[in-house]
Amino acid sequence: MTVPTPSDGRQPGDRIPDDHDPWRPPPPGTTPPPRWESYPMAPLPAPQARNGMGITALVLGIVGLVLGLLIILFWMSWLPALLAVIFGSVGMSQARRGRATNKGMALAGVILGVVGLLAAAGGAVLTVTAVKKVTDDARAKVKEVKASASASEKARHLSFGEPYTFENGLKVTVAEPKPYTPDDYVLGHAKGNKAVQVIVKVLNTGTERVKVDTGLPEVSDADGASAELLIDGSGRQKVITGYVLPGKEAIGKYAFSLPPDAADKIEVEFSPDAMEWQDAYWSGPTTG
C-alpha cells in the first residue's frame, strides 16, 4: 500500500519539527490540500393538505338538507345528513391538527347535516301525524256509514199501521192483518191453515206521478217461512199496478195462507220498486 507524501515535502516517517505550524500556508510550489465545499440542503416538501373530509361533508350536508326539505323524500335524507356530521367532525379534527385547511367547509357540512337531520325528523313527525289523521278520518267515516246504515235499517222496520216514505215520494202503510175467509174455490190454501188479509196503502206525496213496479208484498210467518199467496174467486183481492198520481192513493189487498202453529205473528215486506229501493218491513201479531 502506498502512503501519500505530505504537502509540505516531508516523507512518511519523518519527525514533525517542534515549530511546525499546521495553519501556516504551504511553501510556494507545493500543492494545497483538497477542500470540501458545502452545498445548501433542499427544503423538504410541505405535507399535502387533507381536505377531502370537509368537501365530502359539505356535499353530503347539502344533499341531506335538500332531501329533508322535500317532505315526500324525508326518509332518504337522514343518511347523507348523518354522514355529513361524521365527515365534517373528522375534517374539523384534521384542520385543528394542521392536516387540512378547510375547517370552515367542514364546519358548514356539520351544520347542514344537523339541519338535515332535524328536517328528516320533522318530516317523519309530519308524515306520521298526517297518516294518523287520515286513518282516524277513515275510521270515523266508516263508523258514520255504519251508524247511518244501522239507522236506515232500523227506520225500515216498522209496526203495522206505521208509514214509511221511500225516496221517490211514495208513502207506504201496511195495516194490521185481519182474518180472511176464502171462497170454496181457492188456490194456495191448505186445509187447516189460517188465512189473513194484508192491506197495503201507497200515497204519492210528490209532485209527479210515480210507477209502482212491484205490487205484491212478501209475507213471512212466525217461524220466518214464506207464506203462500192465496187466490180465490171472490174478487176481494187487488194488486197495485201502474202509476200513482200526485196526492192520490193506491190500495192493494192480498190474502195469505199460514200454518196454524205459526199464524200468531207475521212480517210483511214491500217495496214499490225492488230493483231501485230496499224493502221496508212491517211486523206484528195477527188479529182474530
How far apart are the two ends of the chain, measured CA to CA in Å?
160
Cell digits of residue 97:
391538527
Boundary residue ending a domain (139, 166, 192): 139
Residues 165 and 262 in one domain: yes
pLDDT at 138: 84
pLDDT at 44: 56
pTM: 0.54
Residues 167 and 218 in one domain: yes
- Can you tell me the distance from the alpha carbon of 234 to that of 183, in angstroms, rounded to the nearest whole number? 6
CB atoms near residue 160 (< 10 Å): 20
What is the span of the domain harbouring residue 88?
52-139
pLDDT at 69: 78
Boundary residue ending a domain (139, 170, 196): 139
- Can you tell me the distance from the alpha carbon of 212 to that of 139, in angstroms, rounded to the nearest whole number? 39
Residue 147 lies in a domain: no
Tell me the average pLDDT of the chain. Answer: 83
Please name the amino acid found at residue 223: D
Q: Which is it for the CA torsion 138, 139, 142, 144, positive or negative?
A: negative
Low-confidence ranges of the chain (pLDDT < 50): 1
Residue 59 lies in a domain: yes
